[in-house]
Structure 1
Amino acid sequence: MRHRRTPTYAFLALSRQQHRAEVERISLAVRNFHKTQQRFRIYHGSTSSTRRPVDGTSTNTIDTSALNNILEIDGVNKVAVVEANAPMDALLEATLDLNLMPLVVTEFPGITVGGAFSGTAGESSSFKHSFFDQTVSKIEMVMADGEVVNCSEAKNKEVFRGAPGALGTLGVVTLLYVRLQPAAKWVEVTYHPFESVEGALRMFRRFWKDEGVDYLDGVMFSPTKGAVVTGQLCDVKPEGLPVQRFSRAKDPWYYMHVEECISSGGSEPHRELVPLPDYLFRYNRGCFWCGKSMFDLTGLPFTKGTPQWLEFMLRTRMLYKALHAQDPNTLMVILDLALPFSAAEEFVNWQAERLDIWPLWLCPLRIGAMSTLHPHPLRTEDKEDEMMLNVGLYGVSPRDYEEWVSANLDLESKVTELGGMKWAYAAQLYSRDMFWQQYDKKWYDNSREKCHATSLPDVYEKTSVDYEAGRKMTKESKEYWDGTMFPAIAQLRQSLWLVREALKSKAWRLERRDVWKDWPEKR
C-alpha cells in the first residue's frame, strides 16, 4: 500500500512559473539594495539557530518565507526539487510517497532544506554521506547583485562549493536539487553499551567500515556510561524483534529509552525495530534533552506524566519558539563542535570538569570534499583523517552572564587547541582575528567579491556576540523579571511568558498534521 498523506504544505502545487515569479520579486529587492549599497538580511520565517531571528518587518530585510514548497520528486533520477524554506518533514513526506528518502535527514523536522545547506547539518548517516550539502547536486541562487544563477559542480563551481556553511552571506539560495535513495519500512536499531570515550571511539572505528551499517551515532550519559547506536535499513520485519516508536505522546523520549536499554541489558547490545520516520526524527520530542532542561529553567516538576501533559510544548518547533522569546544563549548552551578523533577523549574529560554538561551527543562525520566554511581539521597531523567527531553540547546556561562568557571563551580556546571547530549556528565569542584564523579568509573574501556580496553581513558579523550589549540586555531582563517579587514568582512569570510566545506562533499545528507517524502501516 502506498503511503498517502494530507498535504501540510502545497506539495507539488506551486508551479515553476509561480516559483520564478517569487524569485524575480526577491531578485528585484536584492538588486535595489545592491544599487544603494545598503546592507540587508534575510527573513526565512523560522530558524533553528541560537541567534535571534531576523525581524521580517524590517525595511532592510528580504522575505523568503514563501519559498517553502516541493516542486518535483523525480522518481527516475532520484532527485527532489525543493524550495529553500521547505522543512525537512515536508521533504520526507513527499519523497516517501514514491518510496524514496534523502540520504541525510536532519533530526529536527522543522529544519529547512536551505538551512541545512547554508548552515552545517550532519546526522547519523553522515559517516557515509558527510554533511547534508554533499547530497545536493545543484542550487539556484540570487546573487547579492540580484542576478539569478544556477550552480553545480559543472557550472559556477566555486559558488556551489562556497555557499554551504556560508549562512547566506554569498547570496540567497532559493532552490535545491536533493539526491534521494530508496526508502525502507524500518530501521533495525542496536544499542551497544560502552564505559569510556575510548570504548566509544573504538566502536565507531569498527562500525563505520561495516557496509551493513546505514546509521551511526551515540549518546554519552556520564564519563563511564553511554551507547553507540547503529541502524540498518530493512523492509522485512525480523521475527522476535520488538517494535519501538518515538513520535506519539505515549512513547518514551528517545534518549531516555536508550539509557533504559543499556541499563537493563548489562553489557549486551539491545536490538529493536523502529519505523523509518520515527528513527529519523527520534530527537524531535524533547529536542534531544533540551525539553528536560526547560523543566529545570521553569521550575516545573519533571515526572513520568508531565511530558505527556505538555506534549504540544515539548517538540522542537515549539521549544525553539519559546527559546527565541528571549535570547536563547541566556537560557541554554546549545552548540555542536567537530573534533579530530585523536582529541575527543581529552575534550570530553575537560568538559566534564569545566562544564559538566550531560548527556553528550556523539556523531562521526566523514570529512570528504567539504567547503571551506564547514568544520574541518585545523592541525596538520589531523588533516589526513577520514572522520571527525561531532560532539553536541546541550544544557542549561550558567545563570550569571559573566560565567556564561567565561565558559564559552574557555570552550572556544580548548576546541581550537585540540584542532576542532564550532558549528556557526551557535553564538561565537571569538575575536575577529581568532575567528578568521580557522578559515581561509582570502578564499572567502574572493568569493564575496565574485558574488558581489560585500554589502551583506559576513559570517563573523552574523554569528559573533556583542559582550557589552549582552551584559546590558541581561541586566535589564533580570531587573524586569525580578523586580521586588520573590524569585519563585519571577521564575513563574518568565515561564508563562515563554509559553505564551510559543503558543502565539501556532507551530504546534504543524506537528499535529504530520502523517509520517503512520509509517509503515499506511505505506
Structure 2
Amino acid sequence: MTSGGNQGWLEYMLIHYRWVIVIFFLLPASFFYDIYYYTRSWIIFKLNSAPLHHGKRVKEVQRQVREWNESGKEVPMCTARPGWQTISFREGAYKRTFHKVAINMVDILEINTDKGTVRCEPLVTMGQLTHALIDLGWTIPVLPEMDDLTVGGLVMGTGIETSSHKFGLFQHMCVSFELVVADGSVITCSETSNEDLFYSVPWSYGSLGFLTAVEMKIVPAERFVKVEYKPCHSLENLVKTFEEETSKAEGNQFVEGLMYSLNSGVVMTGNMSTTAEPGKLNAIGRWFKPWFFKHVETYLKNDKRGTEYIPIRDYYHRHTRAIFWEIQDIIPFGNNVVFRYLLGWMVPPKVSLLKLTQGKAVKELYEKNHFIQDMLLPVADLKDALLLFEKEVKIYPIWLCPFKLPQNPGMLQPVHGKETMYVDVGTYGVPKVENFEPVETTRRVEEFVREKKGFQMMYADSYMTREEYRQMFDHSLYDKMRLKYCCEKAFPEVYDKVNRQARI
C-alpha cells in the first residue's frame, strides 16, 4: 500500500472508527498519565518543595526573555507549550513561527488558610486543586468543571462555575498575578499594586507577559452538595425558574440549567452540606455511574422534582467524564451500562490526546459539522438567546450558567455600566438544522451577542473582524498596558491569537 493509501486508510479510521483508537489507545494513555501526574503533584505538595523551585523557574523564564531581547526581537514570543496540549479545539498557528519560551510550572506553591488564599503556578489544573484543597476542608470560590483546565488558561482566557452568580468569573476571585514582562523583569500586580495591569491580564491571552504565579481566594468546603432538580416544560417556565433561583438573596450557592429542547429543561440548585440524608447520597463521580447529563434528564422524563447529595469533588467535576456531552460523539455507546462497568474507570480520554489524533480529515469534519460556543449575555436576554440558538443550530443539551459581572476596569464592561447578572449559554455538538454554515452561522450569533452587549468566550472559533472584536471588548486599558510594557514587538494583540484565521 502506498503512503497516500496509508494516510487515506488512517483518515477513514479516524472518521468512522475513532472510538477504536480512543478505547484501545487514548483511554489507557490518559489513565496512566493521570496516575503519574497526581502522584507527582501529591508528593511535591507533601514535601513542600515547590516554593524552593519556583524562584529558579521564574529566573529561567527571565533568562529566555532576555535572550530574546538580545537576539534582535525578530519575531514575537509565545509559550513553548504545544497547541495540542491545550483544552480548546483549535491550535494557534503562530506556534509554528514565534520565539518559544518554555514555562514548565505545574505546582501548588502555598495554601494559606489564615490569609484565605492559595498560590499556584499557571499549569496547575482544577483536578489538582480539588485534590489538594478539599482534603484540607477548603475550595476556591469559582471552580470550573473540567479536571484538565489550568489556572493560567482560566486567568488569561476565562472560567465560570455554577457559583459565579455569587462570586463572578474566575478572574474575580484572583488576588494577584506574577508575570515576566517583555524586558525580562518580574512584576506582581493586584488591586492595590500595579492595579491597571492586574485588571488587564484577564482575557489578554498571554499578550501582556508570561504568567508565572496566581494567588486566589479560598473558602471553606463541606463534604456534600445538596442538589435540587426542578424540571421545566416550557421556555417561559424555565427562564422564569432560572432567573428566580439565580436572584435569591439567601441560599443557592450553585445554580445551573440544562435544556434538552427549546421547551424542556432542568434547573438545578445546590448548597453545601456537612451531612447527607439517608438514601439520597449519589456519588456521581464513580466510574459505573451514568453520565451526569443523562442522569439529569431522568428528572425531566419522569416530570418529578428530586433532591440528592453529591460528594463535593464529584459535584465540581460532574461534567468531566462525558466532557459535558461531547463524548457521545466519540464513544457512542459510552453510557451503556456494560461499557461503564468494564471500562468506565478509564473515561474520559484527555482532550489534548483527542486533538493530537484528529488528523486533517477529522478537523475538516468537525469544522463543517460541529458548533462549540459559549456566549455570555445579560440574563434579561436569555429567552431571545435561546430562540436564536434554536433557529441557528438546534443543538441540545444547552448549558446555562449564571454569573455576576461587576463594573471593574478591563476587557469586560457590563451593560449600562453597572454590576449586572449575565448567563453563559453553552452550545456544544452537531447542529440539527439544515444547511448549517459554520462561518455565516457563527457570525450571525456573534452579531446578536454584540447587540446585546455580551461576550464570546474566545477558546472557540471566532469570525469577528478586528473592529467587531474591539466593539465587543473594551481595549482602552489593555492598549495602555501594551504601550507601557513595550508589548508591540514582544507579543501579538489578543485578537491576533484568537481569531479563526490565527488558528488551525
TM, length-normalised to structure 2:
0.83
Does 1:463 find its partner at 2:495? Answer: no
On the 8 A contact 2:395/2:431 being kept in 1, the answer is: no
Q: 2:76 is matched with which residue?
A: 39
**Aligned: 1:274 with 2:306:** no
- Aligned counterparts of 1:219 and 1:70: Cα–Cα separation in 2: 33
What is the aligned length?
453
Q: CA shift at 1:56, angstroms?
A: 7.8
Q: Residue 328 of structure 2 contacts residue 334 of structure 2 at CA under 8 Å; is this kept in 1?
A: no
1:153 paired residue number: 191
Shift of 1:88: 1.0
Which one of 399, 418, 421 corresponds to residue 387 of structure 1? 421
Find 1:236's aligned residue among 246, 251, 275.
275
**Residue aligning to 2:285:** 247
Aligned to 2:353: 321
Q: Of the candidates 211, 223, 228, which is equivalent to residue 185 of structure 1?
A: 223
1:289 is aligned to 2:325: yes
- Relative to structure 1, the CA distance from residue 48 to residue 205 in structure 2 (aligned partners, 3 Å threshold; closer, same or farther) is same
Aligned with residue 396 of structure 1, among 430, 442, 446: 430
- Which residue of the other structure, out of 206, 222, 232, is the alignment partner of 1:194? 232
Q: Does 1:48 align with 2:84?
A: no
Change (3 A) 1:130 1:353: same
Shift of 1:347: 1.7
Identity %: 26
2:106 aligned counterpart, secondary structure: coil
> Given the alignment of the two structures, is residue 336 of structure 1 paired with residue 374 of structure 2, yes or no?
yes
* Whole-angstrom CA distance in 2 between matches of 1:225 and 1:423: 25
Q: Amino acid of the residue matched to residue 43 of structure 1? A: A
**Residues 242-268 of structure 1: per-residue CA shift (max 9 Å, x gap):** 11122222011111000012322x2x4
Contact 1:80 1:178 in 2 (8 A): yes
Distance of 2:59 and 2:372 partners within structure 1: 36
Indicate the residue corresponding to 2:470 in structure 1. 436
When structure 1 is superposed on structure 2, of 173-182 and 409-418 the one drifting more is 409-418
Structure 1: any 5+ residue segments left out of the alignment? 471-523
What is the SS of the residue equivalent to 2:199?
Answer: helix
Give the distance between the partners of 2:407 and 2:451, measured in 1 at CA.
Answer: 24
Alpha-carbon distance in 2 for matches of 1:364, 1:461: 29
| Secondary structure of 2:180's aligned partner | strand
State the 1:370 CA deviation.
4.4
Q: Give ranges in structure 2 of 5+ residues lacking alignment.
A: 1-36
Partner of 2:262: 223
Alignment check: 8 A CA contact 1:330 1:399 kept: no
What secondary structure sits across from 1:261 in the alignment? helix
Partner of 1:420: 454
- Segments of 4+ moved more than 6 angstroms: 54-59, 397-402
**How far did residue 142 of structure 1 move?**
0.7
Judged with a 3 Å threshold, the aligned counterparts in structure 2 of structure 1 residues 185 and 179 are, in CA distance, closer, same or farther, namely: same
Task: Name the CA distance, whole Å, in 2 between partners of 1:393 and 1:273.
Answer: 27
CA distance in 1, matches of 2:256, 2:408: 20
Q: Describe the shift of the 1:450–1:349 C-alpha distance in structure 2 as closer, same or farther (beyond 3 A).
A: same
Sort the Cα spacing of 1:397 and 1:61 in 2 relative to 1 into closer, same or farther, 3 A.
farther
> Counterpart of 2:218 in 1: which secondary structure?
strand
2:338 to 301, 305, 310: 305
1:324 Cα deviation after fit: 4.8
- Residue 212 (structure 1) aligned to one of 222, 243, 251: 251
- Looking at structure 1, the residues matched to 345 and 441 of structure 2 have their Cα atoms a distance apart, in angstroms, of 32
How far did residue 235 of structure 1 move? 0.5
Secondary structure of the residue aligned to 1:305 is: helix
Counterparts of 1:28-177 in structure 2, within 5 Å, are: 28-35=63-70, 36-37=72-73, 38-44=75-81, 46-52=85-91, 60-64=99-103, 66-177=104-215
| C-alpha RMSD of the superposition | 2.7
> Aligned letter for 2:259?
M
Cα pair 1:398 1:404 within 8 Å, conserved: no
Matches within 5 A, 1:17-32: 17-32=52-67
Q: Does 1:358 align with 2:396?
A: yes
1:154 Cα shift?
1.2
- Pairwise CA distance, 1:47: 1.4
Deviation at 1:96, TM superposition (A): 2.0
Using the TM superposition, give the Cα deviation of residue 427 of structure 1 relative to its aligned residue in structure 2, in angstroms: 1.6
Distance 1:433 1:310, change over 3 A: farther
Structure 1 pair 41–244 and aligned structure 2 pair: CA distance change class (3 A): same
| TM-score between the two structures when normalised by the length of structure 1 | 0.80
State the Cα distance separating 1:234 from its structure 2 match.
0.6
Query: Structure 2 CA distance, aligned partners of 1:395 and 1:224?
Result: 19
